[in-house]
Amino acid sequence: DVKVTQSSRYLVKRTGEKVFLECVQDMDHENMFWYRQDPGLGLRLIYFSYDVKMKEKGDIPEGYSVSREKKERFSLILESASTNQTSMYLCASSLGREPQHFGDGTRLSIL
């Protein structure tokens, strides 16, 4: 069974901090994704990676960056956290056009 592991379930940070969210998958999937989900807005894609060191911007990349140095790990970085980045962050991985598998999510609060 595919396992996607996110480093934290809950995280509280302060405005202006640099925040790292880590995601690891164990199924050798090429594709990895970072989403945020807010009430009434559905899932919104922040960044997507289809290979090591490759990345593409999603719908809402502003204020975020990503890193994929190894195939199994995809990191989301909030360069300078702001209160409007308080949200649920979801990592997913997939093989080709097969269904995505999601991690448990990280509930991030920026104070």
Among 93, 64, 94, smallest CA distance to 80 is for 64
**Least distance between another protein and beta carbon 14 (Å):** 23
> Which residues would be at the binding site for another protein (CB under 8 A)?
31, 33, 40-43, 45, 48, 50, 58, 88, 90, 94, 96-105, 107
Q: Which is nearer to another protein, 79 or 98 (CB)?
A: 98
**Least distance between another protein and beta carbon 61 (Å):** 13
Say how far apart CA 72 and CA 26 lie, in whole Å: 6
Burial 65-91 (b: 16+ CB within 10 A, else e): ebbbeeebebbbebeebeeebbbebbb
**Least distance between another protein and beta carbon 16 (Å):** 27
Q: Which is nearer to another protein, 75 or 103 (CB)?
A: 103
Q: Which is nearer to another protein, 49 or 85 (CB)?
A: 49
Q: Which is nearer to another protein, 9 or 18 (CB)?
A: 9
Range 47-55, long-range pairs (CB < 8 A, 24+ positions): 47/76, 49/74
